[in-house]
Amino acid sequence: MKTDREFYTVRGYQILDSGNKILSSSLEDYLEMIYRICLDEGYARINQLADKLNVRPSSTTKIVQKLCELGFVEYKKYGIIQLTGAGENVGRYLLERHEIVQEFLSNLGIEDNLLRDTELIEHDLSHNALFAIYSLNKFLSDNPEVKSQYDAYRKMLFELYEKDSLLFDAKAKMSEVVGRQNNNIDSGENITSDTDMI
């Protein structure tokens, strides 16, 4: 019997959750952006949406047609895109979820790649995890002295472990290992154990 304490790959968890998910991550991104645009203008256009998401208009048209089939938007070829009631509700949820995750990462002190990290994290969070993150954000907002203590502690740890911790050098170490493996393969050498990779 499978339990919630068994490990799966990221894709494995996504497959397990697929029965509970109406929209793919890509469809969520499009619907969220349509909602953002509609907040300002009341409607969106294909080229505008494609520009905002850095994708081709032809790809955008296909996704918008799918959202139309699912009942989240109204769209006619070469026309405007408008949200249905369901699209507006889900779009609002997606934007709120995005803002909660982004605030959480910001509270953690993430500055570089904040938008990228938010996008990669937000799609597969459970409702319980999202509410826990929201609660922590609210707690930190209501208790700025705790946030200040955390910021000071984080800065102290960063300075202390910056040069000695694998966390700070993991990417460089992985690149070094991959480079060494490629050199060994190119020269015909074999890697004989896990320790050869470290």
- CATH number of the domain enclosing 108: 1.10.10.10
The model's pLDDT over 111-155, given as tens digits with 9 standing for 90+, comes to 999 999 999 999 989 999 999 999 999 999 999 999 999 999 999
Range with lowest mean pLDDT among 6-10, 65-69, 120-124: 6-10
Same domain, 24 and 83: yes
- List the domain range (segments joined by +) for residue 136: 1-162
Percent of the chain with pLDDT over 90: 64
How many domains does the chain divide into? 2
Same domain, 142 and 173: no
Same domain, 158 and 174: no
Average pLDDT, the chain: 85
Same domain, 75 and 95: yes
One-character DSSP codes across 88-103:
HHHHHHHHHHHHHHHH
Same domain, 146 and 178: no
Same domain, 50 and 76: yes
- Which residues are CB-neighbours of 158 under 8 A, at least 6 positions away? none
d(CA 195, CA 103): 40
Same domain, 98 and 191: no
Same domain, 116 and 178: no
175 residue type, one letter: S
Same domain, 90 and 188: no
What is the maximal distance between C-alpha atoms in the chain? 63
In the predicted structure, residue 198 carries a pLDDT above the cut 60: no
Same domain, 175 and 107: no
Same domain, 156 and 77: yes
Tell how strand 73-75 and strand 81-83 pair up. antiparallel
Residue among 65, 74, 14 at smallest CA distance from 38: 74
Residue showing tokens 């203590």: 149
46 half-sphere exposure, CB direction, 13 A CA radius = 17
